[in-house]
Amino acid sequence: METVFTTDLKPLLDAVSQQMELYIPKKSGEFYVFIKYDPASGQTIEFNNIRACTPLKDFLFPVRELAAVFPEAAEAEEVKPFAVFGLKDCDLRALDVLDKVFIEKDFRDPFYVKRRENMFIIASDCFEPAGSCFCNVMDGKPFADKGFDLNISQVEGGFIVEIGSEKGDEFVKKHSNIFKNLPENALDERKKNRTETKKQLAEQNAEMKFDCPVREIFDSSEDSEVYDIEAKTCVECQACTRICPTCHCFYLYDTKQKDYFSKMKMWDSCMRQAYAAVAGGANPNKILGDRIKHRLMHKFVYFLDRYGINMCVGCGRCVDAEAGEVDIREIMKKLYQELKDRDSKLTKVSK
C-alpha cells in the first residue's frame, strides 16, 4: 500500500477536522479516551501507544438511540461525516464483527449503516501493549494492515502515513502539501518496531500458547465447574460487556412522549440476571455461572460457528474494566488445562 510521511500530526488532523468532526485520543488517568478535536483550542495531540479505553462501537451504535417514532414515522436523523484517530488493529477487527452483525444480506440496521458509511478511520500502530492485551492469542497483531482509511506509524522524526482506501487516497492527494516522501529506512524502522511489539506481546502472553484452536477450549467446557467458580468473584457490574468492542446486545423499550410514542434501543448485557427471562418466569440463565458461560461460548464458539470469525479480539478491555476478579485469560487457561487433563486421561485409558 502507498505510504507518505509527515513530521507533524497537527496539519494532518487540522485538515481532517476541516472536513469533518474528528475525535482524538486523550490520556485520562491510566487510559486513553476519545475527545472531540478543536484545532483552535491548542489541544495537545497525543499519540496513543495502546488502544483507547472507549470501544469503537460507541461511535456506531450509541449507548441509547431512538429506533422508531409512531404513529407518524420520524425523518431519520442526519449523520455527518466524522473521523476517529488512534484506532488499533483490535478495534478494526471488532468493527469486522459489528459489520457482520448489523450489515447482513437480508438485514441492514439503518442507524448503524449510516454512521458506518460516514466514518473515516485513522488507525495507528501499538507501541506499548497494556498488560491486559492478548490480541496475539486471538490471531491479532499490534498494527493494522487493512480496514482503515489511513494508518499512522510513529518513527524517528515523524510519522509514516499509509493509505488504506480510496477515501484515504483522496484525502492524501487533496492535501499533498502536508506530506513528504518517506525518509530512507523509515519502513525498516517501522518493521523493527512492529516486530518488537509483537515479541513483547508473545512474551507477556507466553502462558497462553495453546496447541488447539481457542474454540476447542470452550466448546469442550460444557460441564466445567470453572464458570461457577469464577462467578464467585464476579460482582455483576456488567462492565465486561459494556466496554467490550464486540458485544452488541441491545434492549428495546417503549416510551410515551407528549404527542407521539417512541421505541428506544439501548445497550444491554447478557450478564444481567433477567436478560433471557420470559414473561411466564422461565429463565435459562438464572445462575451467574451460566451467564458467564453463555457470554464466553457466544464469544468463542457460537459467533464463530455463525459468522466464521472470532467474537473476541483480545483487546483486554474487559480485564481492565472488571470490578470483580473475573479474568477472561485466566478462564481460558483453566479450561485449557482441564482439556489437557481430560485428553491425557483418555490417552491413559486407551493405552
Partner 1 sequence: MSENPYQPIDSEIIDIIDESPTIKTFVVVTNGPFKFETGQFVELTLPGEGEAPFTPSSSPNDTEKMEISIMNAGRVTNLLHKCGKGQKVGIRGPFGNGYPIEDFVGKDVYIVGGGVGLAPIRSLFLTLVERAKDFKSIVCRYGARTPEDFIYKKTLHGKWQKIDGVDIKLTVDKANGDWKGNVGVVTTILKGDDVNIKNAVAVVCGPPIMMKFATLKLLEFGFADEQIYLSMEKNMSCGFGKCGHCMIGKYYVCKDGPVFTYDQIKKYPKIWD
Which chain residues interact with partner 1 by CB under 8 A?
A: 67-68, 70-71, 73, 76, 101-102, 106-107, 109-110, 222, 248-256, 261, 263, 265, 268, 270, 275-280, 282-286, 290, 293-294, 297-298, 301-303, 305-306
Pairing of strands 261-267, 64-70: antiparallel
Q: Which is nearer to partner 1, 36 or 306 (CB)?
A: 306
Distance CA 281, CA 285 (A): 12
Q: Which is nearer to partner 1, 102 or 148 (CB)?
A: 102
The residues facing 124 across adjacent strands are 152
* Least distance (Å) between residue 336 CB and partner 1: 21
Distance CA 24, CA 48 (A): 9
* Least distance (Å) between residue 48 CB and partner 1: 30
In sequence order, the 6+-apart residues with CB closer than 8 A to the CB of 197 are 125, 126, 127, 128, 129, 142, 143
* Least distance (Å) between residue 77 CB and partner 1: 11
Q: How far is CA 3 from CA 98, 165, 197, in A?
A: 28, 12, 21
Using alpha carbons, select from 96, 151, 89, 90 the residue that is nearest to residue 120: 151
Q: Which amino acid is at 48?
A: N
* Least distance (Å) between residue 340 CB and partner 1: 23
* Least distance (Å) between residue 286 CB and partner 1: 8
Q: Which is nearer to partner 1, 15 or 113 (CB)?
A: 113
Q: Which is nearer to partner 1, 59 or 61 (CB)?
A: 61
Q: Which is nearer to partner 1, 170 or 225 (CB)?
A: 225
Hey, CA dihedral for 64, 317, 216, 337, is it positive or negative?
negative
Is 301 within 8 Å of 309 (Cβ atoms)?
A: no
Q: Which is nearer to partner 1, 106 or 211 (CB)?
A: 106
**Sheet with 250-256, edge to edge strand ranges:** 64-70, 261-267, 250-256
* Least distance (Å) between residue 283 CB and partner 1: 7
* Least distance (Å) between residue 69 CB and partner 1: 8
* Least distance (Å) between residue 136 CB and partner 1: 26
Distance CA 83, CA 88 (A): 14
| Residue listed under C-alpha cell 456488567 | 238
Q: Which is nearer to partner 1, 19 or 118 (CB)?
A: 118
Q: Which is nearer to partner 1, 124 or 241 (CB)?
A: 241
In sequence order, the 6+-apart residues with CB closer than 8 A to the CB of 291 are 270, 271, 273, 275, 285
